[in-house]
Amino acid sequence: MITLDIETRPTTDESVIDEIGKSISAPGNMKKKETIDKWFAENYQSELENAVKKTALDPLYGSVRMIGCAIDDNEPVVFIDKAGESKMIESFFEVIGKSERVLTIVGHNVQDFDIDFLWKRAVILGIKIPPAFKEYRKRYSHYVFDTMKEWAGYGKYIKLDTLAKAILGESKSGSGEDSLSMTDEECAKYCAQDVELTRKIYKRIIN
């Protein structure tokens, strides 16, 4: 078993940011030029910042900042992209590839976000993907235990923080949006805590 959680970051590509900026428009009910100009003067920068932040959820534009994982009951290990995103993902894939068996991946919303994001970034970056990791992307993979789907059901959503409070009486130390402004050290602790909470929830569910 390997418990997994990733942290992502938004695009820093100026050409992408420029395109996002061009797509921002005033509310449709505004018709007068002076009203539209006033709206842009007051709202454009915050609208642009929010739109750029959302690219952290899209592997076409965002990137993987950290990968937190823990094999069985071992302490979480957090891979950080200090040497570059590609090397970080490759280091994590080495952990997957070293196992003689396909490890079950445990995570919260792990199949639709973490696994999917990692796979797509690997494709974009031209990284060789271990055969075992390809198993995790299958819709009904026997090697994925998603705590969100197990609790809420397919197509439904529950936050990790909400579930942790209800089941464990514990809370997350922040949110995904908060992590965008964290230092690497703070974000690594945050990521490791998510791994720990998810593993605890998994064990409570299967007992």
User: What is the rounded average pLDDT for all residues in the chain?
Assistant: 91
Is the per-residue pLDDT at 175 higher than 80?
A: no
Handedness of CA 114, 120, 124, 129 (dihedral sign): positive
Angle, helices 33-54/14-23, rounded to nearest 10 degrees: 140
Is the per-residue pLDDT at 127 higher than 90?
A: yes
Q: Categorize the per-residue pLDDT at 81 as very low, low, confident or very high, splitting at 50, 70 and 90.
A: confident
In 3D space, the residue among 12, 37, 14, 11 whose CA is nearest the CA of residue 26 turns out to be 37
Residue 11: the pLDDT is 95
For range 143-159, the mean pLDDT? 92
Q: Categorize the per-residue pLDDT at 25 as very low, low, confident or very high, splitting at 50, 70 and 90.
A: confident
Q: Categorize the per-residue pLDDT at 134 as very low, low, confident or very high, splitting at 50, 70 and 90.
A: confident
Per the CB < 8 A criterion, the answer to whether 201 and 163 are in contact is yes
Name 68's bridge partners.
5, 78
Per the CB < 8 A criterion, the answer to whether 6 and 117 are in contact is yes
Percent of the chain with pLDDT over 70: 100
